[in-house]
């Protein structure tokens, strides 16, 4: 199941003086609620109101919109510590050092359903998410490839083909899914598909060339129909390498919302999760470990609050859900 308020307008920080009447096309809006010390201005580091992302792809058909960005990163990472060095008790994923130029790729799929069989509404604003993901990963050294309008069968076939590629000279795998969804499901043009059927293609026993390497999945989709109303709260201040590894090891799943809940998306600016993820990657990808970045993403998304003319959708909250089976620390390339 997917969810987007048709009446959401541009994201506006509470107390920033930018909470004027919404446009006629978007009678409601969502806002970013600031802690007391920050309500007089915009979010820290924003330098003003949220920057709108340029639409690179226009979705014309009034039906489901789905984005799938699949990426693999080749060698050429600069290690933060000498090979095999410890970071506290946790090791850092070691990136291959190659003399020849490296080529980082992100295979992008922009999937706009052209059939009304699922009964889902169009995912307005998802093009802004795709543009933001494209921009941030290009800056991290990835190449982007985009494909359009795939059915569930085509999505599975594409990912299966990618899982069968030779990743021996690549150091990681990244997949970003932007779609309607439900718990354990993601939607294609013709209906739902089990997420497990897609992610299991990259298990260590099925994709041997990615075994022991980080496989990151970022999933922007609903996971149910519950709404989070929020609650007011007071503020307060070297290991031996295993020769045998679990087949489910070295995966990370970053879901946009907790199990069972809606995932919020602004019809003009994009989803709370993807926009927060891209902003935090832009600010911290060169210096912080991935889990530190995702903790900041959680914090930023938690500060959002919906603002709608529909009372049952007003003043709602959201929190991402990070599930990590990574066995080492992960840093993006410098």
Strand 321-324 versus strand 251-255 pairing type: antiparallel
Strand 65-74 versus strand 104-112 pairing type: antiparallel
| 180 included as an active-site residue | yes
Q: Which of 180, 207, 278, 307 is catalytic?
A: 180
Q: Residues with Cβ < 8 Å from 50, sequence gap 6 or more?
A: 10, 11, 12, 13, 32, 42, 269, 275
Q: Which of 175, 207, 222, 307 is catalytic?
A: 222
Exposed e or buried b per residue across 280-299, where buried means at least 16 C-beta atoms within 10 angstroms of its C-beta:
bbeebbeebbbeebbebbbe
Q: Rounded to 5 degrees, what are φ and ψ at 326?
A: -65, 145
Residue 62 CA to residue 268 CA, distance in Å, equals 16
Closest by alpha carbon to 52, among 266, 304, 311? 266
Residue with token string 């009678």: 27
The residues assigned a catalytic role are 180, 222
């Amino acid at each position: 199941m997917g969810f987007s308020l048709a009446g959401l307008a541009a994201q506006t920080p509470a107390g920033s003086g930018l909470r004027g009447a919404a446009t006629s096309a978007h009678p409601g809006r969502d806002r970013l609620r600031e802690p007391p010390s920050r309500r007089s201005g915009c979010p820290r580091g924003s330098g003003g109101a949220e920057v709108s992302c340029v639409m690179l792809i226009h979705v014309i058909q009034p039906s489901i919109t789905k984005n799938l960005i699949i990426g693999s990163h080749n060698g050429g990472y600069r290690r933060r510590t000498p090979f095999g060095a410890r970071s506290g008790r946790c090791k850092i994923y070691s990136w291959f050092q190659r003399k020849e130029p490296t080529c980082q790729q992100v295979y992008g799929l922009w999937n706009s359903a052209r059939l009304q069989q699922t009964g889902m509404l169009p995912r307005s604003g998802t093009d802004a998410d795709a543009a933001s993901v494209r921009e941030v990963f290009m800056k991290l050294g990835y190449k982007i490839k985009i494909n359009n309008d795939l059915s569930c069968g085509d999505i599975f076939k594409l990912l299966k083909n990618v899982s069968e590629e030779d990743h021996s000279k690549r150091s990681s795998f990244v997949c970003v899914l932007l779609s309607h969804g439900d718990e354990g499901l993601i939607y294609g043009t013709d209906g739902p598909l089990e997420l497990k059927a897609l992610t299991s293609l990259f298990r260590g026993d099925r994709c041997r060339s990615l075994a022991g390497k980080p496989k990151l999945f970022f999933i922007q989709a609903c996971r149910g129909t519950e709404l989070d109303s929020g609650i007011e709260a007071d503020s307060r201040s070297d290991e031996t390498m295993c020769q045998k590894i679990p087949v489910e090891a070295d995966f990370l799943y970053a879901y946009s919302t907790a199990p069972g809940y809606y995932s919020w998306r602004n019809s003009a600016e994009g989803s709370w999760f993807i926009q927060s993820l891209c902003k935090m990657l832009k600010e911290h990808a060169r210096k912080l470990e991935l889990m530190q970045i995702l903790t900041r993403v959680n914090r930023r998304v938690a500060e959002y609050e919906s603002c709608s003319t529909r009372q049952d959708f007003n003043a709602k909250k959201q929190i991402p859900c990070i599930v990590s089976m990574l066995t080492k620390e992960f840093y993006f390339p410098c």
